A and B are shown apart, each in its own frame.
Chain A
Amino acid sequence: MLAFFVRRLLLLTPLLILISFGVVALVLLIPGDPARQLAGIDAPQAEVTAIREQYELDEPLLVQYGRWLGGAVRGDLGSSIFQDRPVVTELGDRLPVTLSLAVGALAVMLLIGVPAGILAGTRPGSLLDRLITVFTSLSLALPPFWVAMVLVVLFAVTWRVVPAIGYVRFTDSPVDWATHLYLPWFALGLGGSATLARQVRGSLVDVLEQDYIRTADAKGLPPRRIIGKHALKNAAIAPLTVLGIQFAYLLGGTVIIEQIFSLGGVGQYFFVALVNRDLPVIRGVVVVVALTFITLNLVVDVLYTYLNPKVRLG
């Protein structure tokens, strides 16, 4: 188990270096003179020169990377070009918002996707199975922003049961925190819940055909226990993989959802930075998101070892 963990961590280091280098090299993707682009078309030459010097854009890429990496390991990701606030400070304020959104959406995915998948997978071909298939197809077809707007119109504007926009910190008022997030959670998690439901269904149908399920039946176990104990643990492996990947989409989805619901999260920060070509912010956000994603995959790998005892040998 320890060897497994150590090997996975060792594998992560080159991955992180690769990602961060790619992020710093983003500057190469900006056509023409990056400093001119950053300063704006109409900016005077002096400002362009200042920006070039401030961000050391005329130095070789490796030097730029070394400098950035040196700062990053000390917890300094530079400052925004436009707001002059350190990226780290800004992320510290905004990360809780985005994590509240993403984790809540993940919960929505699990709470809808898993039961729907189990209901469908245990009775393939039934009316309920077909209804759930209709639901999943529909949910996958609807773009999150559209779902978000319909939800706002219905729940916030027409029926006025929840606020339409804004964010309240959990530490200030847990109830308000939740009421402000219900709609974003649902809008963001719905698509993922459909994918998950399909995965769980398919996986469960396969597992229920396995010989060891017949063994469990031959032991005289009640169906609830056969499914709950013997089928689900084995059927969870494939959906778990999907869940890891889905979380990446979820993080991407926060960019739009935070805009719609005026949540001051990382997604919104990133969106603004992208529009303004705010290079230090883009670099910082991408690295933090990559780190989150990698950590999550590590968690998924550890969960595998629980689900599949054979992996423990690795």
Chain B
Amino acid sequence: MSAPLLEVEGLRVQFGSSGGALTVVDDVGFSVEAGKTLGLVGESGCGKTVTALAVMGLLPPKASRVQARRLRFDGRDLTALSRAERRQLRGDAMAMVFQEPMTSLNPAYTVGNQIAETVQAHRSSDRRSAWKRAVEVLELVGIPDAAGRARDYPHAFSGGMRQRVMIAMALANEPRILIADEPTTALDVTVQAEILDLMRSLQQELGMAMVFVTHDLGVVADICHDVAVLYAGQVVEHAGVDHLFSAPAHPYTAGLLASMPQATPAGRPLAIIPGEVPRPEDQPPACRFAPRCPHVQARCEAALVPLYRAGAASSRCVRVGELPLRGVVSTVDDRSPRQRPSPLDLPHRAPLLEVRGLSKSFPVQRGVLRRTVGRVQAVDGIDLDIGAGETLGLVGESGSGKSTVARLILRLVEPSAGSVRLNGQPIHSLAAAPLRQARRQMQIVFQDPYSSLDPRATVGATVAEPLLVHEDLSSAEREERVIELLGRVGLGRHCLDRYPHEFSGGQRQRIAVARALALEPQLVVCDEPVSSLDVSTQSQVINLLMRLQRELGLSYLFIAHDLSVVRHISDRIAVMYLGRIVEVGDAEEVYLRPTHPYTQALLSAIPLPDPGAQRRRRRTVLRGDPPSPLQPPPGCRFHTRCPHVMDICRTADPVAVTTPGGSTVACHLATADAIPAGAAVEAQSSG
């Protein structure tokens, strides 16, 4: 066993002036060896990013105070180094990749320039050799035509490609350690799978150590060797990845593992961790997790809790060893009978929502006179049905047209062609007044609860607004209704006069749900409602949506890119690719026996929250980005990325057919009924 490359012990980070200093990170310790990857895991607000920035020396020197009993890199005491000496390490022996590839590159310079600059900052190389190195690392991270692309500006790259550029930049000087802060969180699962593979292979090639900051336990299982779980600024558990997933030693770790959608059979309420991460200013004095812990005892709240050794792991829990904590149960019974039959299975019942041939194209304007030179076919002739009380999940990569479908159904944008019928009423052709009436029946919950609530309206006013528009109620009646609605989503009447900024993301999403429910709609379109939430909060909101559906008989169109969440909540799943639906069917069927190669690829890209299963499984990794919807490929639109592409796919558009499992699939393989047996992907580990 070699000596650790990076050792951190007793790291403490404070923000603000000495008088009112907030301790954001407190007593954090871990170590990483060369060639190994350490995961820093936890919900937002737990101090993961601050820890990473502190190690890099990137926290603002005036506003923050970093102390550590031990902070050593490669045998050097980082706390003893001057700022100039830290700077010499940064970008050279220690490199960092950030979460947001869209904003982390300077828009005003070419990517080649920005990489070459890193080289020149640390090596006495001339412009030409620095540029050569830039092209070299761009090739290394798999940018096609690297020499030409080096001259492009960041805006000419997709999110995934920009993250590759960021990685190339970090690798330019062959760092000994790479710190990656949620490098794949902003990316699609398919792109995430590519980036994770890339980072793993680069690590093997270069023998560097990695610190991987993430909230996604699937990613941890996929790429990390060791894991430090952070909660409220402290490390609460430190263990090897297999050990952590199979036998968590801290209730918080167990709670995180249990709240993953894969851990609960579809349709049942997800396990949750009640409450939220405390803010640094109101940290519980003893065990910080005690208020949310299901195993709490009086002694937990009595004194500060040190990190106890527990076999190969360490845990900050006074009851360590005595708790029956469950790890990942990889034998979730996927084939359990459905909770209820799909309403569409019942014969002779017209669906609540009927979408036929729905299309939307946007003009593209170019040139001196802004002529329309082409059209982007965002949605291209899709058919959908949603029954009363049913949830249809809609999945696909970004740019596939999911959100446009949501807007078209509500007629927030005008369709170019096709029909949308709600209860037989033609939404697509209604005049303004009847449309307004019809909108009572269909409401929407948006992705970002931070921008979808008016920051200057109280919660009461926000929830009351639909009632003001549509109902003729006295103000007392209205207030009563609003209180009732807030109660339904688990918020008390004391919220009425508060403003959105006083609430957390999960609470805001509850407010948005209450607003959507105000008019007792039949259909609620949820456009990525939990994508911006942490795992435990996400589970709370999903459980809420499922309970409301049971109580009120709602129908959902549930749009998300996270297939495991979609599978959990949906009766049926539709998969979109470049404006078309390529597969639609019963949720379990689509999830367990995907027929379309694209669905298979999407599923295999989701990292399983089980390190063993994740290592064993074979992945269908899609290469490259989806083609531009401006010039969709002829024939099957997926053929440019399909691992099973045949000659016919390049010319003929596949016709939708019904599979033996009852799904509808648009793929030539399904038509020929000749899917190679090896292509079926293990969607779920078989234990």
- Say which residue of A6, A214, A309 sits within 8 Å of B108 (CB atoms): A309
Given known pairs A3-B368, A211-B98, the reply for A219 and B118 (CB within 8 Å) is yes
Q: Does A25 contact B (CB under 8 A)?
A: no
B117 touches A6 (CB 8 A): no
Point out the residues of chain B lying under 8 angstroms from A218, CB to CB: 56, 58, 90-91, 95-96, 98, 170
Interface residues of B in 415-451 (CB under 8 A from A): none
Point out the residues of chain A lying under 8 angstroms from B87, CB to CB: 220-222
* 30 A-B residue pairings within 8 Å (CB atoms): A7-B368, A7-B369, A210-B103, A211-B98, A211-B100, A211-B103, A212-B104, A212-B105, A212-B106, A212-B107, A214-B104, A215-B105, A216-B106, A219-B118, A219-B121, A220-B88, A220-B90, A220-B91, A220-B92, A220-B121, A221-B121, A225-B121, A230-B109, A233-B109, A234-B106, A234-B108, A308-B108, A309-B107, A309-B108, A309-B153
Q: Give A243 Cβ to nearest chain B Cβ, in Å.
A: 18
- Say which residue of B169, B368, B369 sits within 8 Å of A219 (CB atoms): B169
Interface residues of A in 190-244 (CB under 8 A from B): 210-212, 214-222, 225, 229-230, 233-234
A219 touches B153 (CB 8 A): no
Kindly supply a per-residue 1/0 record for chain B positions 131-173, scoring 1 wherever the CB is within 8 Å of any chain A CB and 0 otherwise.
0000000000000000000000101000000000010011000
Q: Does B593 contact A (CB under 8 A)?
A: no
Point out the residues of chain B lying under 8 angstroms from A307, CB to CB: 108
A10 touches B90 (CB 8 A): no
Q: Does A74 contact B (CB under 8 A)?
A: no
Point out the residues of chain B lying under 8 angstroms from A10, CB to CB: 368
Given known pairs A6-B368, A211-B104, A308-B107, the reply for A219 and B88 (CB within 8 Å) is no
A-B contact number at CB 8 A:
77
Q: Does B66 contact A (CB under 8 A)?
A: no
Q: Does B367 contact A (CB under 8 A)?
A: yes
Across the A-B interface, give the 8 residue pairs with the lowest CB-CB distance, nearest first: A220-B91, A219-B91, A220-B90, A211-B103, A309-B153, A212-B106, A211-B104, A218-B96
Given known pairs A10-B368, A211-B100, the reply for A221 and B107 (CB within 8 Å) is no
B103 touches A212 (CB 8 A): yes
Given known pairs A215-B166, A309-B107, A310-B107, the reply for A220 and B89 (CB within 8 Å) is yes
| Bound complex: CA A7 to CA B122 (Å) | 44
The chain B residue sitting closest to A216, CB to CB, is B106
Kindly supply a per-residue 1/0 record for chain A positions 67-89, scoring 1 wherever the CB is within 8 Å of any chain B CB and 0 otherwise.
00000000000000000000000
Point out the residues of chain A lying under 8 angstroms from B169, CB to CB: 215, 219
Q: Give B454 Cβ to nearest chain A Cβ, in Å.
A: 24
B107 touches A214 (CB 8 A): no
| Bound complex: CA A286 to CA B323 (Å) | 86
How many chain A residues sit at the interface, stated as a range, is 20 to 34
Known: A215-B106, A234-B108. 15 other contacts (CB 8 A): A10-B368, A211-B103, A212-B105, A214-B98, A217-B90, A218-B58, A219-B90, A219-B91, A219-B169, A222-B87, A225-B121, A234-B107, A309-B107, A309-B155, A310-B107
Point out the residues of chain A lying under 8 angstroms from B89, CB to CB: 220
A215 touches B104 (CB 8 A): yes
The chain B residue sitting closest to A219, CB to CB, is B91
SS class of chain A's interface: helix, strand, loop or mixed? Answer: helix
Point out the residues of chain A lying under 8 angstroms from B106, CB to CB: 212, 215-216, 230, 234
Point out the residues of chain B lying under 8 angstroms from A211, CB to CB: 98, 100, 103-104
| Bound complex: CA A3 to CA B365 (Å) | 13
| Bound complex: CA A220 to CA B153 (Å) | 22
B98 touches A215 (CB 8 A): yes
The chain B residue sitting closest to A8, CB to CB, is B368
Q: Give B119 Cβ to nearest chain A Cβ, in Å.
A: 10
Point out the residues of chain A lying under 8 angstroms from B107, CB to CB: 212, 234, 308-310
| Bound complex: CA A10 to CA B58 (Å) | 49
Interface core residue of A210, A225, A307, A309 (most chain B CB under 10 Å): A309
Point out the residues of chain A lying under 8 angstroms from B100, CB to CB: 211
Kindly supply a per-residue 1/0 record for chain B positions 66-98, scoring 1 wherever the CB is within 8 Å of any chain A CB and 0 otherwise.
000000000000000000000111111001101
| Bound complex: CA A308 to CA B87 (Å) | 29
The chain A residue sitting closest to B166, CB to CB, is A215
The chain A residue sitting closest to B102, CB to CB, is A211
Point out the residues of chain A lying under 8 angstroms from B91, CB to CB: 218-221
A310 touches B153 (CB 8 A): yes
Given known pairs A214-B58, A233-B108, the reply for A220 and B122 (CB within 8 Å) is yes
Interface residues of A in 53-108 (CB under 8 A from B): none
| Bound complex: CA A225 to CA B58 (Å) | 16
Kindly supply a per-residue 1/0 record for chain A positions 271-314, scoring 1 wherever the CB is within 8 Å of any chain B CB and 0 otherwise.
00000000000000000000000000000000000011110000
A3 touches B105 (CB 8 A): no
Point out the residues of chain B lying under 8 angstroms from A6, CB to CB: 368
| Bound complex: CA A215 to CA B56 (Å) | 12
Kindly supply a per-residue 1/0 record for chain A positions 240-260, scoring 1 wherever the CB is within 8 Å of any chain B CB and 0 otherwise.
000000000000000000000
| Bound complex: CA A252 to CA B480 (Å) | 62
| Bound complex: CA A6 to CA B90 (Å) | 46
A217 touches B104 (CB 8 A): no
Q: Give B276 Cβ to nearest chain A Cβ, in Å.
A: 26
Q: Give A211 Cβ to nearest chain B Cβ, in Å.
A: 4
The chain A residue sitting closest to B84, CB to CB, is A222
| Bound complex: CA A216 to CA B169 (Å) | 10
The chain A residue sitting closest to B369, CB to CB, is A7
| Bound complex: CA A218 to CA B170 (Å) | 9
Q: Give B187 Cβ to nearest chain A Cβ, in Å.
A: 15
Point out the residues of chain B lying under 8 angstroms from A210, CB to CB: 103
B367 touches A3 (CB 8 A): yes
| Bound complex: CA A7 to CA B368 (Å) | 5
Point out the residues of chain A lying under 8 angstroms from B367, CB to CB: 3
Point out the residues of chain B lying under 8 angstroms from A212, CB to CB: 103-107
Point out the residues of chain B lying under 8 angstroms from A225, CB to CB: 121
Point out the residues of chain B lying under 8 angstroms from A216, CB to CB: 106
Point out the residues of chain B lying under 8 angstroms from A3, CB to CB: 367-368
Point out the residues of chain A lying under 8 angstroms from B90, CB to CB: 217-220
Point out the residues of chain A lying under 8 angstroms from B368, CB to CB: 3, 6-7, 10
Point out the residues of chain A lying under 8 angstroms from B108, CB to CB: 230, 233-234, 307-309
The chain B residue sitting closest to A213, CB to CB, is B106
Point out the residues of chain A lying under 8 angstroms from B118, CB to CB: 219-220
Interface core residue of B58, B106, B166, B369 (most chain A CB under 10 Å): B106
Interface residues of A in 1-20 (CB under 8 A from B): 3, 6-7, 10
| Bound complex: CA A219 to CA B175 (Å) | 11
| Bound complex: CA A219 to CA B165 (Å) | 13
| Bound complex: CA A310 to CA B154 (Å) | 9
Point out the residues of chain B lying under 8 angstroms from A215, CB to CB: 98, 104-106, 166, 169
Interface core residue of B92, B95, B108, B155 (most chain A CB under 10 Å): B108
Q: Give A61 Cβ to nearest chain B Cβ, in Å.
A: 31
Q: Give A55 Cβ to nearest chain B Cβ, in Å.
A: 40
Point out the residues of chain A lying under 8 angstroms from B155, CB to CB: 309-310
Q: Give A50 Cβ to nearest chain B Cβ, in Å.
A: 49
Interface core residue of A6, A214, A216, A218 (most chain B CB under 10 Å): A218
Q: Give A208 Cβ to nearest chain B Cβ, in Å.
A: 10
| Bound complex: CA A32 to CA B121 (Å) | 74
Q: Give A166 Cβ to nearest chain B Cβ, in Å.
A: 45
Point out the residues of chain B lying under 8 angstroms from A308, CB to CB: 107-108
Point out the residues of chain B lying under 8 angstroms from A7, CB to CB: 368-369
Q: Give A3 Cβ to nearest chain B Cβ, in Å.
A: 5
Q: Give B129 Cβ to nearest chain A Cβ, in Å.
A: 17
Q: Give B202 Cβ to nearest chain A Cβ, in Å.
A: 18
| Bound complex: CA A220 to CA B89 (Å) | 7
B98 touches A221 (CB 8 A): no
